[in-house]
Structure formats: C-alpha cells, structure tokens
Amino acid sequence: MAKKEALRELQSRLAERLQAARTEARTANWLAVESAGHGFLLPLSDAGEIFPFAGYVPVPHTASWFVGVANLRGGLHGVVDLAGFLGFKNTSASVAPTDNVRDQARLVAFNPMLEVNCALLVERLSGLRGKEQLQPEPEETRGKPSFVGGLYRDGQGRKWQELSLGALAADEAFLKIVG
C-alpha cells in the first residue's frame, strides 16, 4: 500500500512539474520515460496528461504493438506500447505485466493540439530533463525515422533518445494499426 501511495505522490509531483514547465520559460524540455530498458525523451510541448495503466479493451486484427483502446477522462484513446512499436520487445509481455511492473507503468497521452487520440504505454516515468542536464552524443543518422531526434547522455552515463510525438503522430507506420 505504501508503494502505491508513493507512486501516486510521484505522479502528482510530476504532473505539477509538467504544468510549471509549460508555463515557465525554463529549459526543462522533456519528459523522461523508460521502456524495455531504454530511456526516451518526450518533448513537453507534445506530451499530454499522464495516466496509470489500468483498464483497456483489446482490438482484434491490429498490430501487436497496438495494445487496444482505453477511456481516458471520457475520451477514447488508442494505446500503443512504445517499446513494442520501436521493436525493442514482444508486446504480449507488456500487456499482462507483473503487478510490480504494472504499478509503475503509465500512459502518456499525446497533447490534444496534435489531434491524435493516442497514449503511449511506458514502463516508468523518470522525471523531467533539460538540455543543461544532458550531453549530445554522436549518432547514426542513416535510416533513422523522422520522429527520432537526438541522442543524449546524462551525468550517470545513461543514454536517452529523443522522440517527437508530433512527428510520430504523422508517421505512416504508426498510423497503420491493422495487423
């Protein structure tokens, strides 16, 4: 029970910090999330509300990474397993996770301005990041999808890949959910 309260408190603090970051002219540009052992940076301007991973309805005949649909604050949203879409893991394991993983999993909705009712399933939130906290890394640009941005390394040596949700929402492979 204490773990659930701590997670709710963390989510509440992150939501408050996200709102503050949107209204202040600071350099905290990204929401850091983790999936399948990889770190991703989602631009705050593209990210919407964050929800716990609770109920969803599977949709038959869709891609394996398309988990299903969920009712998020009265709106029907498609749920996409981020790591599954990027090819880092088999999605079937993330749809029925252990209780510990499920408690930390979150749905990060796309900003309503992107006009896509979609949420990304991520394994955990890792807070906010700004450019002052990260060092750019050299990377391979050949064959990189348009939604993949820069690669960065933090002070602990962890790599973080930037993903543009706006470009992802327009990506043909992302929009093709039929399996």
Give the CA-trace dihedral at 136, 131, 83, 125, to 10 degrees.
150
What pLDDT was estimated at residue 80?
96
What CATH number is attached to the domain comprising 28? 2.40.50.180
What's the pLDDT tens digit per position in 148-168? 999 999 999 999 999 999 999
Confidence label for 138 from pLDDT (cuts 50, 70 and 90): confident
d(CA 35, CA 38): 5
Tokens coding 157: 């040596």
Tokens coding 4: 């659930």
Beta-bridged to residue 52, according to DSSP, are: 106
CA 126 to chain centre: 11
Q: Span 99-118, mean pLDDT?
A: 87
Q: Span 63-78, mean pLDDT?
A: 94
Confidence label for 109 from pLDDT (cuts 50, 70 and 90): very high
| Between residues 138 and 107, the one the model is more confident about | 107
What pLDDT was estimated at residue 99?
54
Q: Span 132-144, mean pLDDT?
A: 84
Confidence label for 62 from pLDDT (cuts 50, 70 and 90): very high
d(CA 35, CA 45): 20
Provide the domain limits for residue 164: 2-175
Confidence label for 9 from pLDDT (cuts 50, 70 and 90): confident
**Domain total of the chain:** 1
Smallest CA-to-CA distance from 148 within 133, 159, 156 is with 159
Residue tagged 């397993």 (tokens): 81
What pLDDT was estimated at residue 3?
78
Residue tagged 């109920």 (tokens): 55
Comparing 48-62, 98-112, 146-160, which segment has the lowest mean pLDDT?
98-112
- 125: helix, strand or coil: strand
Count of C-beta atoms within a 10 Å radius of residue 168: 25
